[in-house]
Structure 1
Amino acid sequence: MLEQLQRLQTHIGVLKTRIENAEKENASLLKEKDNSEEQAHSQISHKNSIITQKQDEIESLTDQLSQLQGQFKQLDSDSTALAERYSRLEKSCTDLKNRFQEILAERNELRIAKEKMANEQRHHLQDIKNLKDERERLIQKNEQAKAKVEAIIQRLSILGTEQDHHAQEIQQLAHPSEANEEV
């Protein structure tokens, strides 16, 4: 029995050591657990602050996105308005180009008509000049004929009284208006 008691004491001693070791191990595990919890809390706090920071960044980026979307919508409506204005300007430009072509065609027609009229005017001026020259020639011829008739009348008046009667007839023939006045 003594042996058993010794064995039991040895077992008890071993158990005590094991218990002490287990308690030491338990204490160190508790410390590690506390340290781990503290680290976990600090990591969680750190992660929470990072999450908060990221959420703030997300909100800021969301605000920027909404502002940029508003700007995009404004720019899109501006581009649509500009495209419409450009289309109208392009149509106006085409209309002006067509009108300009019409004006050029009218100008060419007027230029041709002007040249034609200028040629006609030159011909008419030439005709007028020719008619004036003819008139001058006829006036000179008429003056020469008058001078000849007057010379004949003077010669006849010189021939005598007998022939004076004939001279009066000739004069009446030459100047019928004077004869009408005497009558």
Structure 2
Amino acid sequence: MLEQLQRLQTQIGVLRTRLEKSESDNAALLKDKTHNAEQTHTQINHKNNLITQKQDEIDNLTEQLNSLKGTHSQLNTDATALAERYSRLEKSCTDLKNRFQEILAERNELRLLKEKLQAEQQRTQQDIKNLQSERENLIQKNEHAKGKVEAIIQRLSILGTEQDQHAQEIQQLAHPSDSSEEV
């Protein structure tokens, strides 16, 4: 029994040692648990802060996305309006081009007409010069013929014959203004 008692005491000593070791291990584990819990809590808070930041970023990005969608929609509307205006401008440009071509054609026709009229004017002026020259020639011939007729009349008047009276009558007929002055 004594042996058993000693064995029991030895076993109790071993159990005490184990119990102390277990208690110190348990205290260390509790300390580690508390430390790990604090770290985990800190990490959870950090993660929650990160999640809150990310959620704020998501909200900001969502607002930006909505704003950009509105801008995109407005830009599409503006692009459509600009495309329509460009189409109208292109049509107007084509119309102006056609009108310009018509004006050029009219200008060319007017140039041809002007050149034709200038040529006709030059011919007319030349005809006028020719007619004036011919008129002067006819006036000179008329004056020359008149001079001859007067010379003949003077010769007949000098002769003093009956023919002289006829010559005076002819002269009166040739120069009715002279006879009215005499009267």
TM-score by length of 2: 0.87
What SS does the aligned partner of 1:36 have? Answer: helix
Question: 1:94-121 CA deviation, whole Å, 9 max, x = no partner?
Answer: 2112211111111111111101110010
Query: What is the CA–CA distance in structure 2 between the aligned matches of 1:51 and 1:170, rounded to whole Å?
Result: 143
Show the counterpart of 1:133.
133
Q: CA deviation at 1:165?
A: 4.0
Equivalent in the alignment of 1:60: 60
Alignment of 1:77-96 (within 5 A): 77-96=77-96
Question: Which amino acid letter does the alignment assign opposite residue 51 of structure 1?
Answer: I
Q: Alpha-carbon deviation of 1:68?
A: 2.1
- Counterparts of 1:162 and 1:34 in 2: how far apart (Å)? 179
Instruction: Work out the number of aligned pairs and report it.
Output: 178
Are residues 1:15 and 2:15 paired? yes
Using the aligned pairs only, state the percent identity: 71
The offset of 1:72, in angstroms, is 2.2
* Aligned residue runs from structure 1 range 1-183, under 5 A: 1-168=1-168, 170-171=170-171, 175=174
2:133 and 2:103 map into 1 onto residues whose CA distance is 43
**What's the CA shift for 1:56?**
1.0
Deviation >4 Å, runs of 4+: 168-172
The amino acid that maps onto 1:88 is R
Moved more, 46-55 or 114-123: 46-55
Conservation of the 8 A alpha-carbon contact between 2:157 and 2:165: no
Cα distance in 1 for partners of 2:162, 2:18 equals 202
Shift of 1:150: 1.3
Deviations 1:102-157 (A, max 9, x none): 11111111111101110010001100110111011111111111111111111111
Give RMSD over aligned pairs: 2.1
Runs (5+) with no aligned partner, structure 2 = none
Q: How much does 1:167 deviate?
A: 2.2
Letter of the aligned partner of 1:97 in structure 2? K
Query: Could you report, residue by residue, the CA deviation over 1:70-90 in whole angstroms, capped at 9, with x for unpaired residues?
Result: 222222222222222122212
1:161, distance to aligned residue in structure 2 (A): 3.5
Give the CA deviation at 1:170: 4.5
Deviates more, 1:78-87 or 1:25-34: 78-87
C-alpha distance in structure 2 between counterparts of 1:167 and 1:75, whole Å: 113
> What TM-score, normalized by structure 1, do the two folds share?
0.87
Deviation at 1:67, TM superposition (A): 1.6
Give, as a single letter, the amino acid of the residue that structure 1 aligns with 2:145.
A
- CA distance in 1: counterparts of 2:39 and 2:163, whole angstroms: 170
Q: Match for 2:120: what amino acid?
A: E
The one-letter amino acid of 2:33's match is K
Aligned amino acid, residue 101 of structure 2: Q
Question: Structure 1: which 5+ residue stretches go unaligned?
Answer: none
